[in-house]
């Protein structure tokens, strides 16, 4: 077992399983995530016997950095995993802090027609420690402070539910990495049963749904997941989240030329979302290598934005990060073919 798989609750259970005081879980968590130890022998507040047992039961490995590319406000990292697969992580420098965009799977099964990551096919889920270490590498190895986490890299977080939940518990734990709950955003293509399950958790992070179409006919074409989980129940699940969390939900809507950017689409979207406490985030489509779609013109985006606003929908247009270096949303594809 890797130590970065362990939530504080798991560590409490671990200590209890051999009759030790569960409060030691906090000591271990603090040592790893606040004091940045990388070897149990460094936790001198624990007895030698306990340190020895921890070292027998848990390993500390890290990701291997293969390459990185950087522009002024975005860096993209390609990491190697223990089994030879690769994943990508993006660091975005905002004026309010640094955000890390985490991948949750090797490849992705969602097959959204416009998305580069979806062309990869899912190979496997990431283990919790592989998600935690994407953040730790940036925070501890590169020594760059991280204030925000978005689960918007490669993969569908709700198709890797349990590991994603453990990841969230680890990064928000106050005795540990301690990122504010609202500064962690899960983005999902809309796996409705998992949204409902998530909405019933006691503590809720920020949630975004990749919507991209205002009706089932168009969404079925763009996002095959919509055939399994169509819009009406998806919107109900989104409402449940807003009620349980008291927070707004974000709907991401990429603007693809002549496909989902017409005034009619804007009106339909306003009707679909009229009773829900939400933001719409309009994202200019990023042209990718293997898709033939084009971004909407700024005039179209502005018109769409204005129509939503007129209809009482809170709407913003996202500034794109990393578009010039294939590090933008949906352009992560981890297409590295070299040797690790
Ligand atoms: N599977 C999750 C997490 C991935 S987030 C989800 O779908 O939400 C990545 C976001 O980028 C998603 O909203 C996705 O729809 C969007 N995206 C994919 N390709 C894109 C592109 N070429 N330009 C802009 N956004 C894109």
The alpha helices in the chain, defined as continuous H runs, are 8-17, 24-33, 48-57, 128-136, 161-172, 192-199, 216-222, 225-228, 231-245, 263-272, 298-310
What are the angstrom distances between the C-alpha of 55 and each of 29, 210, 267?
A: 14, 42, 59
Count CB atoms within 10 A of the CB of residue 323.
18
Residue owning the nearest CA to atom 22 of ligand 1: 286
Q: Is 152 in the pocket of ligand 1 (CB under 6 A)?
A: yes
Of the candidates 139, 143, 208, which has an alpha carbon nearest to the alpha carbon of residue 178? Answer: 139
Q: How far is the CA of 152 from the centre of ligand 1 (A)?
A: 7
Asked if 329 is an active-site residue, the reply is yes
77 DSSP β-pair partners: 68, 89
pLDDT of residue 292: 87
List of the chain residues with pLDDT < 50: 338-340
One of 35, 88, 108, 310 is an active-site residue; which one? 88
Q: Are 102 and 151 in contact (CB under 8 A)?
A: yes
Question: How far apart (Å, rounded) are the C-alpha atoms in residues 62 and 59?
Answer: 10
Asked if 88 is an active-site residue, the reply is yes
pLDDT of residue 36: 93
Model pTM score: 0.95
DSSP symbol at 201: S
pLDDT of residue 37: 93
Q: How many residues does the structure list for the chain?
A: 340
| Helix/strand/coil for 314 | strand
pLDDT of residue 340: 36
DSSP string, 246-280: -SPEEEEEEEBTTTT-SHHHHHHHHHHTTTS-EEE
Residue owning the nearest CA to atom 20 of ligand 1: 330
């Amino acid at each position: 077992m890797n130590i970065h798989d362990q939530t504080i609750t798991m560590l409490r259970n671990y200590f209890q399983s051999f009759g030790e005081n569960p409060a030691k879980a906090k000591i271990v968590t603090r040592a790893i995530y606040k004091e940045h130890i990388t070897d149990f022998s460094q936790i001198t507040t624990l007895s030698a016997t306990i340190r020895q047992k921890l070292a027998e039961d848990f390993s500390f490995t890290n990701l291997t950095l293969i390459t990185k590319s950087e522009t002024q406000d975005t860096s993209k990292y390609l990491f190697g995993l223990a089994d030879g697969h690769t994943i990508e992580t993006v660091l975005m420098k905002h004026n309010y802090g640094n955000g890390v965009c985490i991948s949750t799977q090797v490849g992705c099964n969602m097959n959204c027609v416009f998305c580069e990551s979806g062309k990869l096919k899912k190979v496997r889920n990431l283990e919790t420690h592989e998600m935690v270490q994407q953040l730790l590498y940036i925070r501890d190895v590169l020594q760059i402070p991280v204030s925000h986490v978005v689960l918007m890299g490669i993969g569908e977080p709700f198709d890797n539910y349990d590991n994603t939940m453990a990841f969230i518990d680890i990064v928000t734990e106050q005795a540990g990495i301690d990122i504010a709950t609202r500064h962690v955003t899960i983005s999902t293509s809309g796996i409705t049963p998992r949204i409902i399950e998530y909405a019933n958790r006691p503590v809720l992070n920020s949630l975004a749904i990749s919507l991209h179409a205002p009706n089932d006919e168009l969404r079925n074409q763009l996002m095959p997941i919509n055939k399994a989980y169509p819009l009406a129940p998806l919107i109900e699940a989104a409402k449940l989240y807003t009620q349980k969390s008291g927070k707004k939900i974000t709907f991401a809507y990429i603007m693809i030329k002549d496909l989902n950017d017409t005034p009619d689409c804007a009106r339909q979207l306003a009707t679909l979302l009229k009773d829900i406490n939400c933001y719409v985030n309009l994202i200019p489509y990023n042209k990718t290598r293997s898709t033939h779609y084009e971004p909407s013109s700024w005039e179209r985006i502005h018109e769409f934005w204005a129509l939503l606003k007129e209809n009482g929908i809170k709407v913003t247009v996202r500034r794109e990060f990393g578009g010039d270096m294939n590090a933008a949303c949906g352009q992560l594809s981890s297409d590295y073919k070299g040797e690790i």
